[in-house]
Amino acid sequence: MKIHKTLKQEGRSLSFEFFVPRDGQGEAGLDKAIATLGKFQPTFVSITQQSSVPNSLESTKRVVIYIKDNTLLEPMPHLTCVEQNESQLRETLENYRALGIENILALRGDPYPKAGEFCPPAGGFRHAKSLVKLASSIGGFSVGVAVYPEGHTESPNLDMDMSYVKEKVDAGSDFAITQMFFQNSYFYDFMERVRSKNIKIPIIAGIMPAVPISRVKRFSQRCGVTLPENVARSMEQAGNSKEDAEKVAIELAIRQCEDLLHNGIRYFHFFTMNQSDVVVKILNNLSAITD
């Protein structure tokens, strides 16, 4: 199943991002997330490739194969340019294709922890568009890319940021998933810029439940994502109670999705952080997405 085709045919989608666990407790969380969130029959599930995870490529592949062999879900691996050069990336893509994987999220990737700025391996790619081009030239994949409603932190300005998105589309990407955002106006303004560049690929809204707030604050700061005053205040008012913080985060995510639905948005991707209970509680209140 090619994601871009399903998106266009169905006109709506629900999908989940899972991350690759680092220990036994994490494995249990992932198993639970696959089992519980799988019941919502998502269009696809995506599996991260993080340079902070030892043996990141093999770890991602292991989860992808597990999902493919043991569930009815459509797994989409994230593939980054951090560790592999062009010929290694080609081999990986051919290997994924041989495994029956039809969808790839083509990313430049986050640099190694503490590495500072991104530095490609010798013979590697500096930008995701080169990986998009490679995957498209190999063929057989629907190729997704990352986009940033508030602009990527390294982009000089929003116009240039959108020009680079256009380059990824021209290189062959056929759908995109946004970075998280907590203020929908950033997403609506981004969609205006998308339209002004005549970009026609489906754009999936990336939704991150704001819990635990300490991690979300850290992520937001690192990724240049605005955490609006009202969100931070509501979360802080919840105090140290995990239960109260979850309740607030769930309520905020429901309100965010309701507003998106009200404004005609139909493609939703949840950054689950493998916290399935929170995502289930959000989705149980959003029948327009799940029915």
Task: At 37, list the tokens.
Answer: 């969130």
For ligand FAD, the closer CB: 76 or 289: 76
Say if residues 132 and 172 touch (Cβ distance below 8 Å). Answer: yes
d(CA 18, CA 29): 10
Mark whether 17 is an active-site residue.
Answer: yes
Closest CA to 88 of 63, 123, 120: 123
Say if residues 73 and 63 touch (Cβ distance below 8 Å). Answer: no
Helix pair 158-170, 184-196: axis angle to 10 deg: 60
* Shortest spacing between CB 196 and ligand FAD, in angstroms: 17
Task: At 234, list the tokens.
Answer: 């509501």
Say if residues 40 and 27 touch (Cβ distance below 8 Å). Answer: no
Question: For residue 106, how many other CB atoms are within 10 A of its CB?
Answer: 30
How many residues are given for the chain?
291
For ligand FAD, the closer CB: 208 or 245: 208
* Shortest spacing between CB 243 and ligand FAD, in angstroms: 29
The residues binding ligand FAD (CB under 6 A) are 48-51, 78, 80, 107-110, 127-129, 146, 152, 154-155, 161, 164, 167-168, 177, 179, 206
One of 17, 83, 150, 246 is an active-site residue; which one? 17
For ligand FAD, the closer CB: 49 or 272: 49
3-class SS of residue 75: strand
For ligand FAD, the closer CB: 175 or 249: 175
**Residue whose token pair is 């994949």:** 141
* Shortest spacing between CB 175 and ligand FAD, in angstroms: 11
* Shortest spacing between CB 110 and ligand FAD, in angstroms: 4
Task: At 157, list the tokens.
Answer: 């300005």
Contacts 24+ apart (CB under 8 A), 29-32: 29/274, 29/275, 29/276, 30/63, 30/274, 32/274, 32/276
d(CA 259, CA 62): 37
* Shortest spacing between CB 269 and ligand FAD, in angstroms: 7
Please name the residues in contact with 66: beta carbons below 8 A apart, sequence gap of 6 or more. none
d(CA 276, CA 46): 14
* Shortest spacing between CB 19 and ligand FAD, in angstroms: 8
Catalytic positions, written as ranges: 17
